[in-house]
Amino acid sequence: MQTGKHALVALGSNLDFGGNPPKMVLAEAFKALKAEGLTVERASRLYQTPCFPAGAGPDYVNAAAIVTSRHLLDPEGILAALHRVEAAFGRERISRWAGRTLDIDLLALGDLIRPDLAGFRHWQGLPLAAQAQQAPDQLILPHPRMQDRAFVLVPLADVAPDWVHPVLGQSVREMLAALPAAERDAVTPLACD
């Protein structure tokens, strides 16, 4: 899982699309990934997560997956495919942390660090207030804040608990255990109907 064509992705939705509630949006998004040439090797359960930042909108439904591709080997190609799926589900980038019909983040591609270690560390260390105002103009891998977000790590632990962050040297399981219990406990499995 450390190298090669395996990508870790996080999915989230907190707005209906086409009459479908967020959990159905995610189910359809998994199918749409396949149409883009991405094979979902493993998918997490669906989780309900409080909206971030608190009070900014309805709760999210979140999931994570390991995806592979025979054709999309570079991170930009994979990211472009993820953006096409988001667009097909009405994703609009109006403002940072706004509600979303579908959000798919490329969390990691094996042990690749992009653009370089200094670039990664800059975005990883950005204070929360600055994160709300600034967004990188290039792909940062691994995702610079994945280690801080229970809504990413809880589902990711379902599919890749032993993946090791190439900069932090911690597994998904270890990063999750380092978060406050209240944050972990706020991400709850969604009841199946």
Q: What is the pLDDT of residue 54?
A: 74
Burial class (CB in 10 A: 0-12, 13-18, 19+), 63: buried
- Tokens 């900069």 sit on residue: 167
Look at 4 and 60; give whichever has higher pLDDT: 60
- Which residues carry out catalysis? 91, 100, 103, 105
Mean pLDDT for the chain overall:
89
- What size, in residues, is the chain? 193
* Residues with Cβ within 8 Å of residue 124, at least 6 apart in sequence: 144, 145, 167
Confidence of residue 3 (pLDDT cuts 50, 70, 90): very low
Percent of the chain with pLDDT over 70: 89
- Over range 147-160, report the average pLDDT: 97
Q: What is the pLDDT of residue 95?
A: 56
Q: Which residue, among 108, 100, 107, 105, has the nearest Cα to 61 in the 3D structure? A: 100
Partners of 161 in the β-ladder: none
Phi and psi angles of residue 40, each rounded to the nearest 5 degrees, phi first: -85, 105
Q: What tens digit of pLDDT does each residue of 112-145 get? A: 999 999 989 988 888 777 666 666 778 999 999 9
Q: Which residue, among 139, 29, 40, 124, has the nearest Cα to 84 in the 3D structure? A: 29
**Residue 98 pLDDT exceeds 90:** no
Partners of 120 in the β-ladder: none
Three-state SS annotation for the chain: CCCCCCEEEEEEECCCECCECHHHHHHHHHHHHHHCCCEEEEECCCEEECCCCCCCCCCEEEEEEEEECCCCCCHHHHHHHHHHHHHHCCCCCCCCCCCCCCEEEEEEECCCCECCHHHHHHHHCCCHHHHHHCCCCCCCECCCCHHHCHHHHHHHHHHCCCCECCCCCCEHHHHHHHCCHHHHHCCEECCCC
What is the signed CA dihedral for 74, 77, 45, 29, rounded to 10 degrees? -170
Q: So where are the chain's domains?
A: 7-189
Q: What tens digit of pLDDT does each residue of 17-75 get? A: 999 999 999 999 999 999 999 999 999 999 999 987 777 789 999 999 999 987 767 89
The CATH number of the domain covering residues in 7-189? 3.30.70.560
